[in-house]
Structure formats: C-alpha cells, structure tokens
Amino acid sequence: MPVADGESRFRRFTALQENSWLILGPRRHPPVPARAANTSSSIAIQTALGFSTLENDDYVQAVQKLSPDIVLGLADYEYSKTPGVKRLEKMGDRTLEWTQAMVKGLEDNADRVPGVALFAPILPIEAEQQSYYLETLSSELAEYIAGWTIYDSASVYAVPPKMQHLPRLALTHVRGPHDVLDQVSLGIDAFVLSFIGSATDRGLAFTFDFPLSKRPESGRRLELGINLWTTTYATDLSRLLDDCACYTCTNHHRAFVRHLLDAKEMLAWVLLQIHNYHVMDSFFAGIRRSIRQGTFGHDREIFHQSYQEEFPPSTGQGPRLRGYQVKSGPSEFRRNPQSFRQLNDARERVAEAVSPSPISKGKDSEAQGFAELFA
C-alpha cells in the first residue's frame, strides 16, 4: 500500500484516526489456547485460518512494515497451561532473546515511522524465576523499552526499580469495573477490556459512574447495567442512562433499542456499543480526576460498596456469530445455541413412508401421509 513519508501503513489501511493509539500485539484478547506448544523461535496462535505459529522474525518484519504506535513484545507464555520447572527456566531466556531481536529490528529499520514504542512483557511467574531477563532489560535495554505488558496483575511488583516510571498495559482477565479499579490501585495504567464487547452482545447497557458522591440512600447496591431484553423496557421511552450525552441516549430510547434487539437488527448492538464505550470513557475520566484530587482510595471503596459485583444476567441471544466468535476448540464454549439440528423424528417417519412417484397426484401423496410429515 503506497503511503507518504512518515505515515503508518497500518493506520492507512485501517483508516484509524490520528488521535487514537495503534497497538500491535501477537494474539487476540482474550486469547484462544492453542494445542501446539511454543518453540525457541515462535509462539502458537489462532488465526482466521485455524491454529498456526508466529515466528519472532516474521513478527519483527511485520512491525517494520506496519509501524504501529505501540508494539507488544513476544512473550513465551502459554495460556491455560501450568509450566513445569524446566519450562520456567526457558520462558525468561526465550522472551529476552525475542525482545533483543525486536529492539535490533526497530533500530535497523531505516524506513520505519519514528516513535514506535516497545512494550516489553513481564511474564506471569515469580520475579525470581525471570530475574535474569528483567535485570538484562534494566541494565542493557532500558533506553529501548517504552512500557510494560502485564499478563497477571500481581506481576506489577516484578517491574525493575529503575523502570517503575514506565506505563503498564494489562492483558489480564477483567470481569468488570470493580476489577479495573482494583488493578489501577496496583499500578496498572491501561487495559484491553473484552467485557465491554461481551456485555454489548448480551444486550446490556452500562449504568455505572465513577466517582460517586455518596452511597445509595436505599442501602441496596446498584446494578452495573440494565438488561434491555427485559419486557418492561418495551414501552420505556427514557434514555439508557439518565443525563448520558452519548449518541444513543441523545437520539433514541430504551424501547427503540429493545425493539431492535427483539428484531435481531445489528443496529441494536451498534447503539449499545456506542453507549457502553461512552460510559467507559467517562469512567476512566473519573478515575484520572480522582487520582489528581488524591481521593481515589476513598472513591474506590464507595464504588465497591455501592454497586453489585457482577453484571445482571442476560435473557436474550446475541448477534449472529461466525469465525473466532464461535467455539474453536475444547477449551471454549459456544456463545449461541446451534441454529440447525437433526430432525430425528421426521427422518424416521420419512424412512417408513412410501415415497411418491413422479407421476403421483397430490391427493395420492396426501392419502399416504407424505405431506403431513412436513406440515
């Protein structure tokens, strides 16, 4: 793809706005555990064509060509698998080797867009088990590392003292806003939040806010969202959230969005996603404001006491699914029930019935009961 000098091919291809960060990582989040194991030069991943491997050299070349704003370094970490003693010894060494290759690739690439920031991974293992890797980053590669990729919130304590000031991006399991606040209190700066999309698919509209000025007067804990599949919203002409200024709440009401859900219109989930992202933007703006004012700890406690721990359950079905959204292995569940099934009863009845001949009349077929099988 032809690009101007200093322009990212990745940004040009995706048409992403200039004020948005462009982050390139080796895996989707949350990842699908692969059956194959990592090797000394590659990690196992899932692609649109099935499971495959990603060579570190290929990853470096992709970064050179695409020039994202932030690249997440390759980590020798296998999801859903507990590493053995020998495996633990290799994880730090492989990750260090891959990080060094990425640094060299960025330095040797004369055509790269200036400002590609490398976020080095911190493995979700004890700090002592990756001490050589972290010490080498701190002593030899510190000037090339712009941030950290965290796979376990407890790993923030493994960040070398010399590099504590660098931002930390979490690829951790986050169930909702409570987990976000807890991980911010540990020192996490940025998140990849898959629960936003999953809540939207389930027909949930976020209704939480941060910080709260006071606890609810009723003493009951507030819901984190509303389930728009509920029939009571079929005639509700209010906004998804009072005083919300998002496009959805400004132009539509709960009854309209519920009607779209009931009709399986994709616009329903588009409007819900717009609203939920707006609520999350306001949520993080409130976190930053609370930290600046020095009241984050108190505000976080009020939030925990005021809101339910989990989102309300969904009573509807999400949008039509395909590709990686459908079950791809034994470790994943199907998000929607199967649309088609075998008609066992009808199949047995068809086998017992006498098939009509090409010259049979309709009344003859009806007399034999053939038409009744498919009525």
Give pLDDT tens digits for 222-238: 999 999 999 999 999 99
Give the angle 281-283-287 at the CA atoms, nearest 5°.
115
pLDDT tens, 36-67? 888 899 998 888 778 889 999 999 999 988 88
Amino acid at 343: L
Radius of gyration of the chain (CA): 26
H helices within 109-201, ranges in order? Answer: 131-140, 177-186, 195-201
How many residues would you count in the chain? 375
CA distance 196 to 208: 13
The segments of the chain whose pLDDT lies below 70 read 1-6, 109-114, 213, 320-375
What are the E-state strand segments in the chain? 23-24, 42-47, 50-55, 70-72, 117-122, 145-150, 168-170, 190-191, 204-206, 225-227
- Per-residue pLDDT at 361: 63
Instruction: Name, in order, each residue with C-beta under 8 angstroms of 6's C-beta and a sequence gap of 6 or more.
Output: 113, 114
Task: Indicate the pTM of the whole model.
Answer: 0.80
Which token pair is 189?
């700066």
- Per-residue pLDDT at 170: 94
- Per-residue pLDDT at 18: 82
Instruction: Judge contact between 116 and 138, C-beta under 8 A.
Output: no
Long-range contacts of 176-182 (CB under 8 A, 24+ apart): 176/224, 176/309, 176/310, 176/311, 177/208, 177/210, 177/224, 177/283, 177/303, 177/307, 178/303, 178/304, 178/307, 178/309, 180/283, 180/287, 181/210, 181/287, 181/300, 181/303, 181/304, 182/153, 182/300
Picking from 255, 291, 292, the residue whose alpha carbon sits closest to that of residue 271 is 255
How deeply is 176 buried, as exposed, middle or buried, from its count of CB atoms within 10 A (0-12, 13-18, 19+)?
Answer: buried
- Per-residue pLDDT at 106: 87
- Per-residue pLDDT at 71: 94
CA distance 177 to 308: 10
- Per-residue pLDDT at 373: 46
Which token pair is 28?
């989707």
* 266 Cα distance to chain centroid: 19
CA distance 116 to 10: 12
Phi, psi of 218 (to 5 degrees): -70, -20
- Per-residue pLDDT at 30: 84
